[in-house]
Structures are given as structure tokens and as C-alpha cells.
Amino acid sequence: MQTGAISRPSDHLPWGGLLALSLAAFITILTEALPAGLLPLISSGLGVSEAAAGQLVTVYAVGSLVAAIPLTTFTQGIRRRPLLLAAIAGFLVANTITAVSPDYTLTLVARFIAGISAGLLWALAAGYAARMAPEHLKGRAIAIAMAGTPLALSFGVPAGTFLGAWIGWRACFGLMSGMTVILLVWVLATVPDFAGEPGSARRSVKSVLMRPGIRPVLLVVLTFVVAHNILYTYIAPFLAGAGIEEQVDTVLLMFGIASLIGIWVVGVLIDRRLRALTLGSTMLFGLASIAFWIGGDGPLAIYGATALWGLAFGGCATLFQTASAKTAGPAADLAQSMLVTAWNMAIAGGGVIGGVLLDRFGAGAFAPTMIALLIICFAVALNARRHGFPG
């Protein structure tokens, strides 16, 4: 395809390009989460404590948080495919350095670069998928592009943890670099190019934030994801209350499988039922939270509640990104960067709030706090019937 031509969606889904975006999401999540599964090996390899090695995850999140909005704002005029390739290339550089670096500080710098790349890629991905698809299939296109996220969490991270114990943690990051090279070629072959915004059409952060519907979408993201991360971050101490802390991997596998079902359901229905799916997912998560509260000391209840939680969470990123993209229209990329920032703030907020609750009240305080957040989430989404989450 000529790089000077502006691509237009056909009447069919561009599967090759959408699957390339899905692989990009897979690599992004795997790069972010893999150090958590390899923490003892990384701390030994770099000669630092496990707490210090854990900062490899923290600095990645900080890179995404601080870079998403400024980078997206400053790159509005750049053609989309070169920008997407640059974001992916950032993972190639960061993971290669991580694989060979003997120095803790250099590894932290590499992880910060990876976080910056993630912030830019997440800001581009949903809007890119929507632009590649016909109007009546935009939601499904975003669902396909985002499918790499639950796949990475459900299967990629456990597989990477297993491989790390077998071939070493550095080899795992080297394998991700190899995957990234394949992805770069795949993007060049299948993902169309789009023009950047002309100077007269570029938007400020304030103007996008003030668009009707954007703030409700961001508030729904904050409340829903904070509720999720309170439990997800501290799942081990929560399970200890039921005496099944050694079953964390099995519980998370249940969560991952249910998440895949959730994203499939959302992908099938989202173009016709965005509002109903958002309200339904919030209600389902609320029911799961009630089940965790009432039956938190029983393994069977926990597994059942985890299945509901996974179903609710699996498609939420697709729902929120689709709502943001449709609400923002031509300003989708900048709106997505705000969503990325809100999501990362929610991850950090869930960790902080969960930690305070655990220290002061114990893991039993998680569920009622989650329920309160989800009531706010549901009320905001319900009220955003004209803009944000329309029928």
C-alpha cells in the first residue's frame, strides 16, 4: 500500500492487521507482567533484593503513566503506521537491553523505555483498530485487537514463568525481542497507514476532556479498575482467609479462562449492546464481590465468584476503549491516552487502597470496598445514556 494514501475500511474485518495489533497487546502485557513471575530469578541475576527487582514493574507503570498523554498530544501530526512501528520498536530495544544488561540501573532505564512505548501503543491501538474497520464493526475490531491482553495474562505470563525456570529469565526477554521482530514485519505487511491530524484539526487535552461523555467514561474506568486491582493485587492474602493461598495459580487460571469467555461475548455483541454490556459487566462484578464477601471463607464460593469476576473483567478494556473511541470521534487517540492514564492510575490506586485495607482491617475489607466502588461505577454508566455509554 502506498504510504501517501489514506486507507479506508472495507465491508469486512481486516483480520491480518487486527491480529497484528492483538500480538502487540500480547507483547505489551507480557513485557509488563513477566517480571512478577520471575522475581526470584531476576533478583538473583542482578544481585538485588526481590523488593528492588519488583520495581521493574513499578517503573514500567510510571513510564506509561507519565508518557501517554504528552506523547499522544505531540505526535498528532505524525502518520500513524510509523508511529505504531516506533512504539513497537521501543519494546524491541527495552527487552533486548533487559535480556543482556548486567546492571540494575540500566535495566530500570530499559523498563522505563518499555513503559513509555506501552503508553503510546495503548493510546494508538483502539483508535487504529476502529479506523481499519467499517462503522458497524468497529467494536468487534477493537475486541479482536485487545484479545492479546487476556491471552497474555491467562497463558503468556504462566508460560513465561515456566520457561524462565527452564531456560533462564534473560532468555525469556530475548524470546520476546524475537517476537517483536516478527511483529514489526507483520505490521509492515498487513497494517495500513493513516495520515496524522493536520495542524488546524489538532486538539488540546482540555478540549477533548470537555467533550460530552469523556469524563463519565474515565470515571467508570477509574472505579471499575480500582475495584479489580484491590483484589487482583492482593489475591494471595485474600485466599489465605479460606486456607487456599497455595492455590493462587489455579484461581488465576480460572479467572483467565473466564476472562477469555468474557471478551468473546463482548466481541460478538459490542457493536449492538455497548451500554447493556457495560452495565451487565458492572453488575456481574458486583455480584462476584458480594459472593466474595459472603463466602470468602469457602473455597467453592471463591472459585464460583472468581468465574463471575473473570467474565465481568474480560471484556471491560474493550468496552471502555470502544466507548472512549466512539465518544471522542476524530479525537480518539488523545482520548485513549487519557484512558491509558486513568487505567494506570487505577492500578496504582488499587495497590495503595488494597494495601491500606489489608494493613488496617484485613482482607475481609476488600469486598465491601469493591462493592461501594462498583455502585458508583454503575450509577455513572447508567447516567451516561446520551454520551459515553449510549443505548
Pair 183, 286 in one domain: no
Span 345-350, average pLDDT = 83
Identify the weakest region by mean pLDDT among 15-19, 72-76, 110-114, 277-281.
72-76
Pair 129, 229 in one domain: no
Give the model's confidence band at 204: pLDDT under 50 very low, under 70 low, under 90 confident, else very high.
confident
Q: Give the whole-angstrom CA distance, residue 175 versus residue 96.
A: 9
CATH of the domain at 220: 1.20.1250.20
Tens digit of pLDDT for each residue in 304-328? 999 999 999 988 988 998 898 888 8
DSSP state of 192: P
Domain boundary residue among 201, 224, 246? 201
Question: Could you tell me if residue 388 is inside a domain?
Answer: no
Pair 328, 277 in one domain: yes
**Is the model's pLDDT at 174 over the cut of 50?**
yes
Domain boundary residue among 145, 176, 201? 201
Question: Could you tell me if residue 354 is inside a domain?
Answer: yes
Pair 115, 196 in one domain: yes
Tens digit of pLDDT for each residue in 90-135? 999 999 999 999 999 999 999 999 999 998 998 888 888 888 888 7
Give the model's confidence band at 5: pLDDT under 50 very low, under 70 low, under 90 confident, else very high.
very low
Pair 89, 190 in one domain: yes
Question: Could you tell me if residue 114 is inside a domain?
Answer: yes
Residue carrying the nine cell digits 525456570: 165
Pair 97, 63 in one domain: yes
Pair 236, 180 in one domain: no
Domain boundary residue among 201, 224, 252? 201
Pair 308, 350 in one domain: yes
Q: Give the whole-angstrom CA distance, residue 168 versus residue 306.
A: 32
- In total, how many domains does the chain have? 2
Of 93, 105, 234, nearest to 177 by C-alpha is 93
Question: Could you tell me if residue 347 is inside a domain?
Answer: yes
Pair 189, 223 in one domain: no
Q: Which domain holds residue 121?
A: 15-201
Q: Give the whole-angstrom CA distance, residue 153 versus residue 23.
A: 13
Q: Which of 117-131, 137-151, 324-338 has the highest mean pLDDT?
A: 117-131
Contact 23, 214 (CB under 8 A): no
Pair 133, 250 in one domain: no
Question: Could you tell me if residue 67 is inside a domain?
Answer: yes
Question: Could you tell me if residue 264 is inside a domain?
Answer: yes
pTM assigned to the model: 0.79
Q: Give the whole-angstrom CA distance, residue 103 versus residue 89.
A: 22
Pair 242, 363 in one domain: yes
Identify the weakest region by mean pLDDT among 87-101, 160-174, 232-246.
232-246
Contact 17, 132 (CB under 8 A): yes
Give the model's confidence band at 377: pLDDT under 50 very low, under 70 low, under 90 confident, else very high.
very high
**Is the model's pLDDT at 155 over the cut of 60?**
yes
Of 230, 377, 360, 379, nearest to 292 by C-alpha is 230
Question: Could you tell me if residue 293 is inside a domain?
Answer: yes
Question: Could you tell me if residue 242 is inside a domain?
Answer: yes
Span 176-183, average pLDDT = 96
Pair 107, 140 in one domain: yes
Q: What is the pLDDT of residue 201?
A: 60
Q: 231 — phi, psi (to 5°)?
A: -80, -45
Contact 188, 84 (CB under 8 A): no
Contact 148, 366 (CB under 8 A): no
